[in-house]
Structure 1
Amino acid sequence: MSVIAAGCMVGPTYVQPSVEEPSHFKSQAVSEAGPPVPAEWWRLYGDDDLDQLIATAHASNQTLRQAVARVDEARALARVAGSFLYPTISLDPNFTHLRTSANRASTITGQRVGKGVNVNDWLIPFDLTYEIDVWGRVRRSFESARAQAAASADDMAVVALTVATDVATFYYALRSLDAQDQILTDTVASYREQVRILSVQLKTGLVSPIVLNQAQAQLQATLAQQRDVQRARADMEHALAILCGRPAPSFAVVSNPLHEASPPAVPPGLPAQLLVRRPDVAEAGENVVAANAQIGVATAEFYPRFSLTGAAGFESADVSSLFRWQSRVATIGPSISIPIFEGGRLWANLDATEARYRQAVAAYVNQVLIAYADVEDALTDLHALSDEVGFLREAVGASRNYVRLAMAQFKFGLVDYLIVIDAERTFLANQLSLAQAINLQMGASIRLIKALGGGWNSAQVHGG
């Protein structure tokens, strides 16, 4: 029987779902196999503040702690499922005192016995129950539970990667807002000086009130714009506090304007490499393994279930002789349960299990397609934004000259003050657009790292 139990296991053998594997990424000029992203990928950016924030998030983020707890739960449940591979042995000692009636009928004569009897019974049995897993029902359940535990570990890696990339994205957005605030602060100071000069010139009759009103309107509008940037920075800092597991009132990030940035070069490698580098793809794959094993569990329900129960121990009427060899007792009873009629329940359960398997396969294939698209999106964005940053840098230089020439010509009365306002607005808009584009460029770089799996390593995660 043990040989049969070890070798027979009903249900389909797991086969990894087939997916299309493109030969290269179309958004990358040259595609070749590349090394995985470093596990601590954020160090590629060479920013100590970012390193510290991510370390804080890894230690204190509450969403990540929930994911870690889910992994512990899933692994514990896998151990529970594995425990059914072994017999269950329990010690169930009990004592019974029986007083028989003096008015009972004798089992021999049928007459009233006329005397009651006191009977003590001391029993200390070791009870054993064991399901002989002939068809693999228990082993398939264990296989499914282990796959679910592996999927939970992969999900934790997804959460950890999301937290780290979100921290990095929010951090650079914060620095971009610092840069915009600094630009607006410098602009406001310049506009205040212009209003002061024009006020003096108005008193001396050199300019009309319209010119002063135009300058004042421009100053107030810029102040409102600056206040909006400061509000956005405060909200971003609060969101970053949550990611780092810190209360927003006591959390602060020192202002550090981001005026220049060079995203690290990260080779995307080949599309096929994504299948072993992304934790979300691995998680979807483990869900397929679990669903496949559940088909084996549902199939095994159609077959007879073999069980073995037994007990061995000591029984005596007197506790002083309880542990003598003559007091030993033992019983063993194999049993078999054969399903005859279930009203279609077993077939319906199998149909439902197979449907869940098909759902898991579709989810896996879809996750692979999402992975391909994520890399393509990040590559497209990174290339386009790198060009955009270059164009905006030239635009800032040209608009700076525009302001200088407009101011010079206004002083000599060659142009209207509206030209100066237009030049200053153009210069400010280009400066702010450049700061925003640099932030988007850094964000695209971080999304590319996330799309490539962020240094996830299956062996390290599942080895825990």
Structure 2
Amino acid sequence: MNKSTIYKCMAIAGLSFTYQACKLPAVTQRTENKTVPLAYAQANGQDTTNSAKTIWKDFFKDQYLNALIDTALKNNQELNVTMQEIEVSRAEIRARKGEYLPFAGIRAAGGVEKVGRYTSQGANDANTDIKPGRETPDPLPDYLITAYASWEVDIWHKLRNSKKAAVARYLSSVEGRNFMVTNLVAEIADSYYELLALDNQLEILKQNIGIQNNALKIVRIQKEAAHVTELAVQRFEAQVLKTRSMQYDIQQQITETENHINYLLGRFPQPIPRDDNGFEKLDLMPIQAGLPSQLLSNRPDIRQAEMDLAASKLDVKVAKARFYPSLNISASIGYNAFSPAFLFNMPQSLIYSLIGEVIQPVVNRNAIKANYSSANAKQLQAVYKYEQKVLNAYVEVTNQMAKISNLEQGYDLRSKQVQALSRSVRISNDLFRSTRADYMEVLLTQRDALEARFDLIDTKKQQINARINVYQALGGGWQ
């Protein structure tokens, strides 16, 4: 075989390596859909005013609630755990950045070596004279001081893209922290207003117990006058006992709600300061939904999904670059001698090296292909998760805005119901005193009035919670 044939074979082999490096597995690609409706279903026009831009201290006017939220943002354990995850992501950026910079170091070593006389090295060393009449020391010491460096030339931007992916994941962790803040602020506000509602229900219950006790006294007087039987007395007494037992159920709910707030604040149970006067007349927080497109910039979970998507795209590029040849350069320079006395003799003890190598995977690339396919699949996952976050955000805002509208109408009707039943309680008591109404009518009227007032408080609480939920769904609370 002549030289020309050999060169042709080498050229064909080189071309085949290049072809294998460039031939990548076919993978499905998909671009995320960032379009959202121009306006919400319940919105009139396209008002850009958005309550998410309002900081939570201005959105919630209650000084006690704001103090609780401020404490939670400092002490909540889950939030602090997330902060450490952010630190981990920041450290990952430094690690990835260091990978595409040269690695350099200084090495110093010393040792001794005894070789066999009848070895190739021993046979040669035996004939080496350092000075006339002096052979190589046996055993032979070895001293070394050298500086070395190695560098992978980032031809295909594999290392830079890996660093960019780490940056995207760091930004994702920051947005994850912001999303947790929105949830924490909303959960504390929900629990706080639930506590106010329970306080008012307890106060209503105490008032109702007073009304029922007065009715019980009247029934006993009526029994002595032989206008009613003992059955009426027992029925009224049973109703009083039932209402009194409800008082302890509410007190238990108050205790559990207080403890839940304390848990969110990262502290042991203690009383929660609050102003529970006038809950039924409490001013509702104004809410403006703005435009659906603003969700893309206001919602931390959407921005987190966007950062995860950006990182997954960079991961695909990194995985793709592994199919291509990598160029590594290594160099070293220093001194090497068998005696410290000769260690810095120039140029006899000087050593240096410069090596460049190209590495191209050719055979058994299944691991690289699997990693590339996995990166593509994770990218598609990130696309679907991003679209899911956008859709979920729009649905959440739409549902809560509809809930606000429906609760306003329901609250007006329940208010009229409470007023009517309050009048009927007075009327039934007056009629019962004059023996013109049956005791069952009095009992049923009192029960209906109590339930109606409880429902009114519950509706008020739902109105407040709906506004808090819209504020959260719009992306408010983390600023």
Q: Please say whether Structure 1 and Structure 2 have the same fold, judged by a TM-score greater than 0.5.
A: yes
CA–CA distance in 2 between the matches of 1:386 and 1:449? 17
Do the aligned residues in 2 keep the contact of 1:260 with 1:438 (CA within 8 Å)?
Answer: no
Contact 1:95/1:123, CA 8 A, preserved across alignment: yes
Aligned to 1:460: none
Q: In the TM superposition, what is the alpha-carbon distance from 1:392 to its structure 2 partner?
A: 1.5
Q: Give deviations 1:72-109, integer Å, cap 9, x for gaps.
A: 11111122111112001122211123355678753288
Q: 1:409 — aligned with what?
A: 431
Q: Label 1:206 to 1:124 Cα distance change in 2 as closer, same or farther (>3 A).
A: same
Distance 1:25 1:349 in 2: 42
| Stretch deviating more after TM superposition (440-449 or 250-259) | 250-259
| Aligned-residue offset at 1:264 | 1.7
Task: Give the aligned partner of residue 361 of structure 1.
Answer: 383
Name the residue aligned to 1:461.
none
Change in 2 beyond 3 A, CA 1:254/1:49: closer
Indicate conservation of the 8 Å contact 1:123/1:314, yes or no.
yes
Distance 2:318 2:136 in 1: 59
Q: How do residues 281-430 of structure 1 correspond to structure 2 at under 5 angstroms?
A: 281-319=302-340, 322-323=343-344, 326=347, 327-430=349-452
Which AA in structure 2 matches 1:341? V
Give 1:196's match in structure 2, choosing from 217, 224, 235.
217
Residue in structure 2 matched with residue 256 of structure 1 by the alignment:
276
Structure 1 CA distance, aligned partners of 2:408 and 2:126?
108
Q: Distance in 2 between matches of 1:254 and 1:273?
A: 34
Q: Aligned residue for 2:468? A: 446
2:294 and 2:275 map into 1 onto residues whose CA distance is 39
Deviation at 1:137, TM superposition (A): 0.9
Please state if 1:76 is matched with 2:98.
no
Provide the secondary structure at the position in 1 that maps to 2:34.
Answer: coil
Distance verdict in 2 for CA 1:184–1:320, change over 3 Å: farther
User: 2: distance between equivalents of 1:367 and 1:410?
Assistant: 61
Map of 1:24 onto structure 2: 39
Cα 1:132–1:221 shift into 2, 3 Å: same
Equivalents in 1 of 2:139, 2:383: separation in Å? 68
Match among 46, 50, 63 for residue 48 of structure 1: 63
1:332-369 deviation per Cα after TM superposition (whole angstroms, max 9, x unaligned): 11111011112533223222211111111011001100
Structure 1 position 255, deviation (Å): 7.0
8 A Cα contact 2:185 2:477, kept in partner = no
**Which letter maps to 2:332?**
A
Deviation digits for residues 369-416 of structure 1 (CA, Å, limit 9, x no counterpart): 001001101101111112222222221111111111111111111111
User: Contact between 2:109 and 2:145, CA under 8 Å: does it hold in 1?
Assistant: yes
**Letter in structure 1 aligned against 2:220:** S
Q: Which consecutive unaligned segments of at least 5 residues does structure 2 have? A: 1-22, 129-133
CA shift, 1:217, in A, is: 1.6
Shift of 1:140: 1.4
One-letter code of the match for 1:256?
D
2:94 is aligned with what amino acid? R
SS, match of residue 328 in structure 2: strand
Which residue type is aligned with residue 314 of structure 1? Y
Q: Distance in 2 between matches of 1:453 and 1:202?
A: 63
SS state of the match for residue 336, structure 2?
strand
Q: 76, 85, 90: which is aligned to 2:105?
A: 90
Q: Residue type matched to 1:278 in 2?
A: R
Q: Which residue of the other structure, out of 103, 107, 117, is the alignment partner of 2:124?
A: 107
Of residues 133, 144, 156, the one that matches 2:165 is 144
Equivalent AA in structure 2 for residue 439 of structure 1: K
CA contact (8 A) 2:181 2:477 kept: no
Tell me the matched-pair count: 445
Contact 1:99 1:116 in 2 (8 A): no
Question: Aligned partner of 2:397: which letter?
Answer: V
Q: Distance in 2 between matches of 1:162 and 1:215?
A: 46
Q: How far apart, in 1, do the equivalents of 2:453 and 2:51 lie? A: 36
- 2:147 aligned counterpart, secondary structure: strand
Cα 1:134/1:390, change in 2 over 3 Å? same
| Counterpart code for 2:292 | P
Name which of structure 1's ranges 254-263 and 397-406 shifts more when overlaid on structure 2.
254-263
Partner of 1:121: 142
Please give the per-residue CA displacement for 1:18-73, whole angstroms capped at 9, x wherever unaligned. 23321110122343212452453243231111011101110111111111111111
The range that moved more, 399-408 or 307-316, is 307-316
RMSD (Å), alpha carbons = 2.7
SS of structure 2 residue aligned to 1:150: helix
One-letter code of the match for 2:386? Y
Aligned mates of 1:109, 1:420 — CA distance in 2: 123
Residues 114/59 of structure 1: CA separation in 2 closer, same or farther (3 Å cut) = closer
- Displacement of 1:254 in angstroms is 5.1
Give the C-alpha shift of residue 197 in structure 1. Answer: 3.5
> Residues of 2 paired with 1:322 and 1:115: CA distance?
16
How far 1:328 sits from its partner (Å)?
3.5
| SS of match in other structure, 2:284 | coil
2: CA distance between counterparts of 1:357 and 1:25? 30
Task: Extract unaligned runs of 5+ from structure 1.
Answer: 1-9, 458-464
TM-score by length of 2: 0.86
Measured in 2, the distance between the counterparts of 1:295 and 1:253 equals 53
Which residue does 1:227 correspond to in 2? 248
Question: Which amino acid in 1 is paired with 2:438?
Answer: D
Distance change (3 Å), C-alpha of 1:236 and 1:36: closer
Separation (CA, whole Å) in 2 of partners of 1:107 and 1:316: 17
Larger Rg: 2
Letter of the 2:318 counterpart: V
**Could you say which residue in structure 2 is the equivalent of 1:167?**
188
How many Å apart are 1:285 and its aligned residue?
0.6
